[in-house]
Amino acid sequence: MSDVGESSWRQAEEHDGTESEEVHASVWGARDPALTVPQGLWTAHHEPTRKRLVLHVDLNNTILVSDAVTCQGTLAALDYFLTTVTWGKKNKHGTWEWLSDSPSLLPPCSEAVSYYSQFGRIPGFTSGAGRRFRKVLDEHLDLLCWPDGVKADRDLSVKGEDGRLYHWILPSFFQLLRDLSQEGREFAILFRTFGTDLPRVLKAVSRALDGAHPLFPDLPQLKLSVAVTPGKIRCSKKGIVLNRAEERVSSRDGERGLYEYFSSVQGLGGFQDHYDWWVANSFSIRGGKPMWVDPFDKHVQHIFIDDNIRQNDEDTIVNPKVFLDPGGSDTRIACTAELYDIALIQTDLLQAISDPSYFTQRVHICLENYEKNVQQGAT
């Protein structure tokens, strides 16, 4: 790892939703800067509690800078990510012009579109049209480098297209595990991916928790377990079915059962979500990875972390299903903007690479915003 990168880490030691969609009144209230909850939804006796956290975490371009499905190595994956966070527009002559020299998750102005949205997946972006962002690519590749003098690890390091060794799983993810444990917070991690990397990730994380990671030799002290058998989530017009080993839960028995299943998981595990269903729904919120949110639950909070979470419900990857009543089974699909930075985190991959505490900070922001909404709703 470069001196800067290694130093920073050392220092950091159905119901199918169809009926529910007809209910338009937001549990959280209309999306505005205050993100208020409708008055009276929460009782005045509600007091902040330290909730159990269940974090649903994407893999590719969230904690992995690679993609087995598209055969992208570290350089290609990071180069591709930059096409999704760099912004411009076509001028009146039909020529592309840049509207920002700095990558950002959100467009710098209303007329801006990402390079990816305009041109699709273009290999070698920073060697061609996006050459102005080559320095950003190089700086973050340096930060991703495996520590100098440390032997390659078959599960935790990966050789890039340039021959250098890189971290396969972002160190900021392991820092999150360490931070949450040091806070004394009860939590579980569920990897949620459309891809094929899940079995390998579960194995690698298990080895890291056994003490194999050179930057985090203390992880065994966290005493976290890993369910190495991946599960599957499959969606259809009839409902949602979850399978893992001998476990099977279906929304045909009510969506509350799926919420309770996810709320009770222990340690770390993962599920492959239903990519074909997302495609069939035109990559919209309706076909996204399902997550259930219960604003009446005082004991458990669910947060989803994914780079493809976007505040455009026709182009986003998580389907947040919010319960309408305490203990009930009826849900509605919440728009992404309504839960953004409350239950949904759009991964900034560049920050996740450069800032060891990135994931921890984003989770804390969600916890704080959630509680603010609860308190505002009780006044």
Distance CA 187, CA 193 (A): 19
Distance CA 37, CA 46 (A): 13
Distance CA 99, CA 63 (A): 28
Instruction: Answer whether residue 304 shows pLDDT above 80.
Output: yes
Rounded percentage of the chain residues whose pLDDT exceeds 90: 83
Q: Is the CB of residue 83 less than 8 Å from the CB of residue 75?
A: no
180 or 30, which is more confident: 180
- Residue 6 — pLDDT band, cuts 50, 70, 90? very low
Total residue count of the chain as it appears in this document: 379
Q: Is the CB of residue 327 less than 8 Å from the CB of residue 355?
A: no
DSSP code for 320: E
Residue type, 354: S
Question: What tokens were used for 241?
Answer: 């079915």
Distance CA 371, CA 28 (A): 12
pLDDT digits (tens, 9 = 90+) for 230-258: 999 999 999 999 999 999 999 998 999 99
pLDDT at 237: 96
Distance CA 293, CA 370 (A): 12
Q: What proportions of the chain, in percent to the nearest 5, are helix, strand and coil?
A: 35, 20, 45
Element at 140 (helix H, strand E): helix 134-144
Element at 166 (helix H, strand E): strand 165-167
Give per-residue burial for 351-370: e unless 16+ CB within 10 Å, then b. Answer: bbbbbbebbbebbeebbebb
Question: What tokens were used for 253?
Answer: 């028995």
Distance CA 105, CA 119 (A): 18
- Cα separations (Å) of 147 from 6, 215, 352? 7, 8, 17
DSSP code for 179: H
pLDDT at 28: 45
Query: Which whole number is the average pLDDT over 204-209?
Result: 98
Q: Which residues pair with 157 in a beta bridge?
A: 167
- Owner of token pair 């190495």: 228
Sequence-distant (6+) residues with CB within 8 A of 37 are 27, 28, 29, 295, 373, 374, 376, 377
pLDDT digits (tens, 9 = 90+) for 39-82: 333 333 344 568 999 999 999 999 999 988 888 999 999 999 99
- Residue 22 — pLDDT band, cuts 50, 70, 90? very low
- Residue 301 — pLDDT band, cuts 50, 70, 90? very high
Q: Is the CB of residue 133 less than 8 Å from the CB of residue 103?
A: yes
Q: What is the pTM of this model?
A: 0.87
pLDDT at 94: 94
pLDDT at 377: 57
Q: Is the dihedral of CA 295, 251, 266, 303 positive or negative?
A: negative
pLDDT at 376: 65
Rounded percentage of the chain residues whose pLDDT exceeds 70: 85
